[in-house]
Structure 1
Amino acid sequence: MYPCSPNAKIETKCLHAGYTPENGGPGVMPIVQSTTYRFDSTEHVAALFDMPTEPMYSRFANPTCDAVEQKITAMEGGVGAMLTTSGQAASLLSVLNLCSAGDSLVSVSTIYGGTVNLFSVTLKRFGIECIWVDPNASEEEIEAAIQPNTRLVFGETIANPALTVFDIEKFAKIAHRNHIPLIVDNTFATPVLCRPFEFGADIVVHSTTKYMDGHAVQGGGVIVDSGNFDWAASGKFPDFTEPDESYHGVVYTRDFGKMAYIIKARMQLMRDFGCYPAANSAFLLNLGLETLPVRMRQYCANAMAVAKMLKSSDKIASVTYPGLPDDPCHALAEKYLPDGTSGVISISIKGGREAAVRFMDALRLASIEVHVADIRTCVLHPASATHRQLTEEQLVAAGIDGGLIRISVGLENVEDIIADLEQALDKV
């Protein structure tokens, strides 16, 4: 599948995986800007509806997108991937591929606020219950939350914006003891800093809008399948092991083996929901992927310098950055993220919400954005923005208070970033 070895380093995969002689090779990925494709016979089209081995319609497959999917698959070390139009769409489809009305999932409470709303409100309307657990809960407490109708466990490698580090191995063992898969949102870490499959995760999702794109030019998401979960042995997923009457009686585990999950997601869900990106979006995403390893190293270096500066300020009540030795999640960060903990820092300003607003409004270089993981430094007040829809109890569970500010450290000269933060702190 890949012109580079499966054992190639991440930098090589970012540059070479996904390119084939058919699409021109590295540097000339084509933009196949077409909704449809022409076939040489009726029989050819009919065969594709039985076994989708090539793109037939751009609502669920496209050659440019396919090349990028292959690249991300190689980066994460999986067997297949499917792009979506947003990270939220990836999270939604990753769950709907496993859950139906009457089922439940278990998720840690510190995940991204938009995903909290997706799980607790929208999925509830679908008849799917989300059971919340503390990421620091004991194995016994987590196990007790898993019900007979629970179909998956969900967590974020680095939580947005609480920045807690997810204990992937612990949750994977618990999930597998109960014959269900673990889904991990790896957006902030990217496969450059952490590859969750190596620690027992079964499915990975990303908001590619963030570090993978890196330039704030297009939204997107992706689901990656490890191929490691045994759906047949689980006994809890008849949709995988029994004929799908909506698709000519295909049996996903029988007909697609290790790729059963990702093929089912495409053939069932992407076919019906149609939240597939355009070829041009995939082309732009690929440009971001090609520089991802270089950018991630610089994000981490800049953020560490900024975090140390912020720790020394008497205007700040707390600094959360897993890379700091005294951070509560530092031990987990050393295990899962030895090469760095991204460019995102959470701080709590003394004086609460009013002081946080004064600080943010005084910034000159850093901009206030409803975004994160950009090449430029940006800030956001989660309680007023991304997590505004949460109740006070949900804010506390997510590790958010009124003075909390999320700082996404960019790639500007770190001395300039620090100078801007210092002058804004002087005005608090």
Structure 2
Amino acid sequence: MSEQQVNRALFNDVMVPNYNPQPMVPVRGEGSRLWDQDGTEYVDVTGGIAVNVLGHCHPRLVKALEAQASNLWHLSNVFTNEPALRLAEKLVNATFADRVFFCNSGAEANEAAFKLARKFGFDHYGEEKNEIISFTKSFHGRTLFSVSVGGQPKYRQGFEPVPQGITHAKYNDLEGLKALISDRTCAVVMEPIQGEGGVIPAAPDFVRGVRELCDQHNVLLVFDEVQTGVGRTGKLYAYMDTDVIPDILTSAKALGGGFPVGAMLTTEKVAASFGIGSHGSTYGGNPLACAVANAVIDEVTRPEILEGVAHKRTLFEQGLEEINAKHGIFKEIRGKGLLIGAELIEAWHGKAGEFLAAAREQGVLILVAGPNVLRMAPALNIPDEDIRAAMQALQAAVEKKLSKADQV
């Protein structure tokens, strides 16, 4: 097959139809810019869905990958390796955690967390302590276990029967959780900011209350920081900006800066329930992934990166507020750091995807968070001029979209 035939149309012929990719095919990226097969240039504020934390092809990450690729690719967990040990040590030194488990994705990190929570409950309190509580609108991955813990029924439909012993409370409703939690509960699982559910931050009092309820019932608190972690909110992990320390934390997405890697972080006491042979991953903690993640952590934790997040968020907010002042299209702008959600007014609910397409036509790539919210999760080092260009392009997209609606 010639290179000219590799295009978007080929997707429909050879790929399982669970995705519906954009009509263009990106072929090159640098920083916060992308180019497609036709050479069209875009400002990318998707960040690969909060993954490309340092943009495309960051020189430090490229160098780390190339250097490791010349030495050692894969061993399996019959052996350990130097990059994995270095990365684990960095994560332990930088967080509440004492122990780390590596895997390949956020779903796998959450799968490990949920299994560990149940095993810990079993080990310390008996087989009856197995219930997991999470929250409506939450998202925790696409494995059968993680999609069951997630609080969006649409992702479970057609895959039943799903794992049992899982209930869902309303997010930011402490009384609702209080009514559900019991001595049968082994874990409460929450995102500090619900990402796929609409970029909804947890209220500080709610986070504190959840921790207190967990302590009262000997329940582990699991923070899913797959989307909020590795600098996204201006801290290395979002829990660091709260009064609360979780018992287990999951991380992925930005941890590899675009190279697949996931991690579950926990305390020594909890980690002890994952004894030899209790859980595993063939690829988890492989040298390539960990070498890149080491470089990501080193770069993201530079003060100018983390401290620059608040400034760059302000530029996004200013741009979105200018659009809203002209067109009154947004009901609310929310989130934290460079995880930004702009909820459309009710008249445009269900049509966020149309704005995504309109934005692409104007040269800016954005995300949605459900059918009602435009989402942006750009590289933490996105240049200020790229933010301004993105907001100008989004404004043009909104104006064109509204103009077409007026003509109908």
Question: Which bracket does the TM-score occupy, shorter chain normalised?
Answer: 0.5 to 0.7
Contact 2:188 2:222 in 1 (8 A): yes
Distance 1:133 1:292, change over 3 A: same
2:363 is equivalent to residue 318 of structure 1? no
Structure 1 Cα separation of the partners of residues 360 and 160 of structure 2: 42
What stretches of structure 1 of length at least 5 have no aligned partner?
1-25, 37-56, 228-258, 323-340, 368-376, 384-401
Partner AA of 1:133 in structure 2 = A
2:366 aligned to which of 376, 379, 388: 379
Structure 1 Cα separation of the partners of residues 296 and 148 of structure 2: 27
Contact 2:107 2:140 in 1 (8 A): no
1:310-329 Cα offsets, whole Å, 9 max, x none, are 2341242323324xxxxxxx
Structure 2 partner of 1:425: 398
Structure 2 Cα separation of the partners of residues 346 and 152 of structure 1: 28
2:247 aligned to which of 185, 194, 202: 202
Contact 2:343 2:373 in 1 (8 A): yes
Partner AA of 1:90 in structure 2 = A
Identity of aligned pairs, percent? 12
What stretches of structure 2 of length at least 5 have no aligned partner?
1-63, 120-126, 151-155, 402-408
Partner AA of 1:303 in structure 2 = R
Structure 1 partner of 2:32: none
Contact 1:316 1:347 in 2 (8 A): no
CA RMSD in angstroms comes to 3.4
Contact 2:148 2:166 in 1 (8 A): no
2:212 is equivalent to residue 173 of structure 1? yes
Deviates more, 1:290-299 or 1:280-289: 290-299
Structure 1 partner of 2:20: none
Structure 1 partner of 2:189: 154
Structure 2 partner of 1:105: 132
How far did 1:277 drift? 3.6
2:263 is equivalent to residue 213 of structure 1? no
1:337-386 Cα offsets, whole Å, 9 max, x none, are xxxx221211233443675334222325997xxxxxxxxx7422343xxx
Structure 1 Cα separation of the partners of residues 185 and 164 of structure 2: 10
How far did 1:143 drift? 2.3
Structure 1 Cα separation of the partners of residues 194 and 362 of structure 2: 22
Structure 2 partner of 1:13: none
Partner AA of 1:270 in structure 2 = H
Q: Which has the higher contact order (CA 8 A, sep 6+)?
A: 2
Distance 1:361 1:58, change over 3 A: same
| Secondary structure of the structure 2 residue equivalent to 1:77 | coil
Structure 1 partner of 2:377: 408
Structure 2 Cα separation of the partners of residues 125 and 421 of structure 1: 42
1:264-283 Cα offsets, whole Å, 9 max, x none, are 43733433x53514211111
Contact 1:163 1:320 in 2 (8 A): no
Deviates more, 1:182-191 or 1:152-161: 182-191
Deviates more, 1:192-201 or 1:409-418: 192-201
2:316 is equivalent to residue 306 of structure 1? yes
TM-score, structure 2 normalization: 0.64
TM-score, structure 1 normalization: 0.61
Structure 1 segment 11-410 matched on structure 2, within 5 A: 33=72, 35-36=74-75, 58=77, 61-99=80-118, 103-112=130-139, 114=141, 117-119=147-149, 121=156, 127-138=163-174, 140-161=175-196, 162-166=198-202, 167-187=206-226, 188-190=228-230, 191-192=235-236, 194-196=238-240, 199-207=244-252, 209-210=253-254, 212-214=255-257, 217-225=258-266, 227=267, 259-265=268-274, 267-271=276-280, 273-274=281-282, 276-293=284-301, 294-312=304-322, 313=324, 314-322=327-335, 341-350=336-345, 351-352=347-348, 355-364=351-360, 378-383=365-370, 402-410=371-379
| Secondary structure of the structure 2 residue equivalent to 1:346 | strand
Partner AA of 1:300 in structure 2 = A
